[in-house]
Amino acid sequence: MRLSLARREALWAFAFLLIPLVFFLFIRIWPAFQALWLSLYEWNADPAKRTYVGLEHYRQMLDDKLLRKALLNTLCYTLIGVPLQMVLGLAVALLLNVVERWRDFFRAVYFAPYITPAVAVAWVFSWMLSANFGIVNEILRLLGLPAQPFLQSPRQALLTVTVVVVWQNLGFQAVLFLAGLQNIPREYYEAARIDGADSWALFRHITLPLLNPVIVFSAVIGTIGFLQLFTQVVNLNFTDQGGPLSSTLTLALYIYQQAFGRFELGYAAAITVLLFMIILLITLVQLRLLSRRVEY
């Protein structure tokens, strides 16, 4: 039987969609099920000593104070970092949208930290924020201000890490919002100005509603990134991973410590399942609360 052109095009479309779908299932979904299965076993990397323990690891998490500390830190990173980088990213994008000359240059300058390896960024900031010889404290001393412990202080360490991560992600957020701003038709602003709308009214009633898809994407991606925060935490204070009194410990770092420090692979897998469920739940809530239809 000879297929019509439309049917052949549909078959080719499904064939090309199937390839990334299989890749996604193999790379993402299958490891998630593997982690769930592994969380039911007591395993220290020796296949011959794998013991089924059921839900024991999940009961163990209820009594793990360090896990609760890591969870609280991770939520603090997210609650502080995501809104901060979104607000700053939108502010920079609004400024870049006004600039006519050198716009590409400023865009590249702001975007450069995002494509810089996180390890390199963390090591540079670790040197700059050193309590003894860091350039930041040297500047504070020249200004007559007391030096700050930054990463050595349980009170300042988490906020310091958050600021570094926000600084590195700022360029991505700015470029993202700038793309959204440039896709808003200029006619909407011109019509509103004719009706007497001021700058705040334009921003509130035109810019923000039409940026809603970008805001949703930014919030979801930013939240996932902070919930999985690992590289900067490890390398900003390499000699004391997790910070003083575990003040910068995250769930991802705690999983790493359990799996490759204590070789508690089953327990690490259980925490991985917990992190996966938290990310899934928060993402679904964000999509539900932030997404809305915009009528043109």
Query: Which residue's entry shows tokens 């309590």?
Result: 131
Structure confidence at residue 256 (pLDDT): 95
Q: pLDDT-derived band of residue 69, with 50, 70 and 90 as boundaries?
A: very high
Query: Is the pLDDT score of 295 beyond 70?
Result: no
Please write the tens of the pLDDT for every residue from 87-110.
999 999 999 999 888 888 988 999
Q: Calculate what percentage of the chain has a pLDDT beyond 70.
A: 97
Q: pLDDT-derived band of residue 214, with 50, 70 and 90 as boundaries?
A: very high
Structure confidence at residue 292 (pLDDT): 61
pTM: 0.88
Q: Averaged over 138-161, what is the pLDDT?
A: 93
Which domains can be identified in the chain, with CATH numbers?
64-290 (1.10.3720.10)
- Alpha-carbon gap, residue 241 to 153, rounded angstroms: 13
Write the secondary structure of the chain as one string of H (helix), E (strand) and C (coil).
CCCCHHHHHHHHHHHHHHHHHHHHHHHHHHHHHHHHHHCCEECCCCHHHCEECCCHHHHHHHCCHHHHHHHHHHHHHHHHHHHHHHHHHHHHHHHHHHCCCCHHHHHHHHHHHHHCCHHHHHHHHHHHCCCCCCHHHHHHHHCCCCCCCHHHCCCCHHHHHHHHHHHHHHHHHHHHHHHHHHCCCHHHHHHHHHCCCCHHHHHHHHHHHHCHHHHHHHHHHHHHHHHCCCHHHHHHCHHHCCCHHHCCCCHHHHHHHHHHHCCCHHHHHHHHHHHHHHHHHHHHHHHHHHCCCCCC
Q: pLDDT-derived band of residue 47, with 50, 70 and 90 as boundaries?
A: low
Please write the tens of the pLDDT for every residue from 158-212.
999 999 999 999 999 999 999 999 999 999 999 999 988 898 999 999 999 999 9
